[in-house]
Structure 1
């Protein structure tokens, strides 16, 4: 499975379902399954900012207990869309959508960057330790078949 390493708290915000786009300076042709890996770095400044601090706290997280160096979830990368306009308060994507509010705050939507649309997030019952890498990388993730869950 393809894996993307993301610094905390951004990785956890995706896993919690409050961050739909991961912004990158580079594109990918990959579409489909994508695992979310939390890198070993934590942006502690971001963790102290609102609404990030409150969103993490609501789920029992702080900068001190965010999981790092593990694969947190599986998801579906549905699109990689170029940012064509950044007003400083919102961003227009190449497909016509407008990104506003906390979604805009949670990314770097500078013109020319790419918004990776991540959907269907499934948090793993047990996080998978992994070193992580730059770019997209491969990892074998075994998840129980739905019939195996109690």
Structure 2
């Protein structure tokens, strides 16, 4: 299965059904289910930027220390890739459209750049 590493709290916003676009500097032709990996790193500045942006959208994100990092936190379906979008979450050169997002039990896992392969069933069940 493919996975994509995303910094918190953006990963939380995706898996909880709020953020429908993942911004990237590169385009993708990938479509289908992707595991959402929460990157290990998160600065206070990144958290604060996302916190206030989410608040403007009527969403309160968990406290900095309550966000799981360094593992799989959920999944979503990549439905497309655009270079212009009306979503308030679109900031970037390219946006990966996301649907059917849901959280999964946290599973520690080392992230990688871009889409990466993971045998979720094998890792989740030891």
| TM-score of Structure 1 vs Structure 2, range by shorter chain | 0.7 to 0.9
For structure 1, which runs of at least 5 residues remain unmatched after alignment? Answer: 84-92, 144-150
For structure 2, which runs of at least 5 residues remain unmatched after alignment? Answer: none
Tell me the matched-pair count.
Answer: 117
Higher helix share: 2
Structure 2 length-normalised TM: 0.83
1:130 equivalent in alignment to 2:118? no
Please say if residues 22 and 115 of structure 1, whose CA atoms lie closer than 8 Å, have aligned partners that are also in contact: yes
Q: Deviations over 1:72-109 (max 9, x none)?
A: 111110001113xxxxxxxxx3xxxx234xx34xxx23
Residues 61-80 of structure 1 correspond to what in structure 2 (within 5 A)?
A: 61-80=62-81
What is the CA RMSD across the aligned residues, in angstroms? 1.9
Judged with a 3 Å threshold, the aligned counterparts in structure 2 of structure 1 residues 121 and 99 are, in CA distance, closer, same or farther, namely closer
Please say if residues 34 and 75 of structure 1, whose CA atoms lie closer than 8 Å, have aligned partners that are also in contact: yes
Corresponding position of 1:38: 38
Structure 1 length-normalised TM: 0.71
